[in-house]
Amino acid sequence: MAQKDMDRNIFFFPKRSVNDYVLLTPTMTGSLNKFTVCLRSYAQHGHSALFIVGNPESKIHNMFVVYQSSLTYSQPYFDSSIYINNSQVCITAKADVLQSIHRCVTWDSDTGVLQHWVNGKVSPLAVLQRGFSIDLQDGISLGQMRRNGATGWNFTASFQGEISDVHMWNSVLSPETIGKVLLNNINGNVISWRSLSYTIKGDVIVQPKLY
């Protein structure tokens, strides 16, 4: 396992493969009743998982997943599917072609209210899995999603492209703070890109960021 300041770096996933992912080790492993997750991605069109709480052997499927669908005919629009405890909301957003997407998701178990931010703009609110809690004991994985009803990763959700600036907090950040995250001016207290503990599985390459 490596621990590194990843500022100005990316994880590059050169191909779609169930063998390629990055396992992140959070600074805490208890249950979360509220959180904020932010990350940046840059990829061609297609369906792919970006961020999942868990690993290939986790007992709970889709405890928390950020999944993106983007097709050539639908650009510049794309869909983000957010899963909590295997329940899903689908949110449509817009981003320019050949532009990285900075995404933040916040969730509060007390109300179930979920916010989805793309490049500093918030989508209409959604409600998902009120009263549930997120368990971090199995870690966090980038670039994959579990197969339905089975262990292991789902090839159709394997990511190809770039992921960077991954942060997670055990609180719901304010809009003002999310604006600072977009500018890389604040770091997560559960996962921090500036002090990242990670293990690369398969063919994932650390590269300098070009944008």
Q: What is the mean pLDDT of residues 87-110?
A: 88
Domains of the chain, first to last: 2-205 (2.60.120.200)
Q: How far is CA 23 from the centre of its chain?
A: 12
Across the chain, mean pLDDT equals 92
Give the pLDDT score at 90: 92
pLDDT band at 71 (very low <50, low <70, confident <90, very high): low
pLDDT at 157 over 80: yes
The alpha-helical segments, DSSP class H, found in the chain are 175-182
Contact 179, 120 (CB under 8 A): yes
Q: Is the pLDDT of residue 133 over 60?
A: yes
CB burial of 35-70 (b: ≥16 within 10 Å; e: otherwise) equals bbbbbbbbbeebbbbbbbbbbbebeebbbbbbbbeb
Cβ partners under 8 Å of residue 94, min gap 6: 76, 77, 78, 118
Q: How far apart are CA 80 and CA 203, in angstroms?
A: 25
Residue 171 has pLDDT above 80, yes or no: yes
